[in-house]
Homo-oligomer: A and B are copies of this chain.
Amino acid sequence: MPKTTKKTAGAAGAKPSLAALSATEIARRIARSETTAEAVVGACLERIIERDGAVRAWASLDAARVLAEARSSDEAPRGGRGLLHGVPFGVKDIIETIDLPTGYGSPIWTGNRTTIDAPAVALPRAAGAIVLGKTVTSEFASLAPTVTRNPHDLSRIPAPSSAGSAAAVADGQVPIALGTQTGGSILRPASFCGCIGFKPTYATINSAGVKPAIPSIDTIGLLAREIDDCELFMAVLTSQPPRIGETLSGAPRVGICRTHLWDKAEPATKAAIEDTAARLARADARIAEVTLPADFAGLHGARLTLNNVDRALAYSHEWRTARSGISAGMRDVIEAGLRTPRAEYVAALRHLEHCRAQLDTLFDGLDVIVVPCVAGEAIPPTAPIADPGFQELWTMLHTPAISLPTHKGPAGLPVGVQLVAPRWQDEKLLVVSRWVLEKLGPAS
């Protein structure tokens, strides 16, 4: 969390704001009657009132409604309460909610009311969680700019597209928020904002009610400040018993992979990877140098093809009925997609499959692989946003991936490292991440 949080949320030596607690701790305290949902939501709203004029993380939020919901939550009988009773969470505004508008980051959909909660929203609600509000997203979760600013440095961006979720979580406005990733839309904002960004294995969270980009790789995930909270929400989102706070019985087997994109990493990111490798080795991790198969270099081009074609088909309603409301950049994408021969699209899909078939070999004998997450620190809104090269590889390959806020760059801003694991090893990845965070300590 940025320094400003500590100053304001814990002002004048008072105890830290409830808004600074983890979701897990909030759930625990409410269950023990040590606090109330109303107090927690009130603290989050207080933080938002204080900060939102500068950070602008929220696309829609109804303070009166959410406070009423919190009060109602506090009055609910104790029997039958869910795992997340009274816990507020943020929802990226690409995900449909029945009681708040869903704008998909597009002026076409301002004020849009849907008739259903997406499963990613309904499942936490069923467990007692409270939707604090909708967080700002880029247009259709693309690389388009947003109004949101980086809470660590308001002259910089949180990065698209889960911009509001990352900024709100990092700024102590809400403990956890839903994001989505098709390239690097969870992990890059997490790295830029200094929070955890967790993209589970593809299709782990049901993606109904989420505006699609590339359906074969679009993945719902989490922005959070604690590994525990990722475990807690993932249990709810997959209807599994929670396993929270588990630790490794021994040091993990860790691959270090600089990837073919190493030259695109700035010194801060290169240093973060080298430092991670050195310190984890000192902590007795078995370290192996890993090189990606040469074919993986073709994934970037394949994603561009899929991005053009799939977005062209996905936004056919908007293209037909509201074309002028689509940004110039997205119109170019759609036009390219509408012209793309089917054979080119199928070749891209085949290339992805070909690369995925090499994952077992890549991960052989390893629990996780550490790779660069971002080029470097957060950039100003005027700087061109790079392709999400470091993150998109793993989105396309369907592996779980996480960005951990372990390092800082030359401007004192966060620089994360990315850990990836074999498909469906999501729980293991989170447990290894806890170990890595313990060994690396807070970013310095």
Contact = CB atoms under 8 A, between A and B. Distances in A.
B112 A310 contact: no
A313 B238 contact: yes
A303 interface: no
Nearest to A125: B320
A310 to B, nearest CB: 7
- Among A116, A211, A346, A349, the one with the most B-chain Cβ atoms within 10 Å of its Cβ is A116
A206 B319 CA distance: 15
Given A215-B203, A239-B338, A337-B239, A119 B208 contact: no
Contacts of A211: 208
B203 A207 contact: no
Interface residues of A, number: 47
Nearest to A206: B313
A206 B317 CA distance: 12
Contacts of A337: 239
A316 interface: yes
A276 B96 CA distance: 49
Contacts of A49: none
A341 B203 CA distance: 16
A98 interface: yes
B215 A314 contact: no
A409 to B, nearest CB: 37
A60 interface: no
Contacts of A117: 316-317, 320
B206 A314 contact: yes
Nearest to A113: B115
Contact of A314 (B114, B119, B320): B119
A216 B240 contact: no
- Among A114, A208, A240, A342, the one with the most B-chain Cβ atoms within 10 Å of its Cβ is A208
A130 to B, nearest CB: 14
A212 interface: yes
Interface in A301-319: 309-310, 312-317, 319
A208 B216 contact: no
Contact of A317 (B116, B216, B314): B116
25 contacts: A98-B317, A109-B115, A113-B115, A114-B114, A116-B317, A117-B316, A117-B317, A119-B313, A119-B314, A119-B315, A121-B317, A122-B316, A122-B317, A123-B313, A123-B316, A126-B319, A206-B215, A206-B313, A206-B314, A238-B313, A238-B342, A239-B312, A239-B340, A240-B342, A350-B424
Interface of A: 98, 109, 112-119, 121-123, 125-126, 203, 206-208, 211-212, 215-216, 238-240, 309-310, 312-317, 319-321, 337-338, 340-342, 346, 349-350, 357, 424
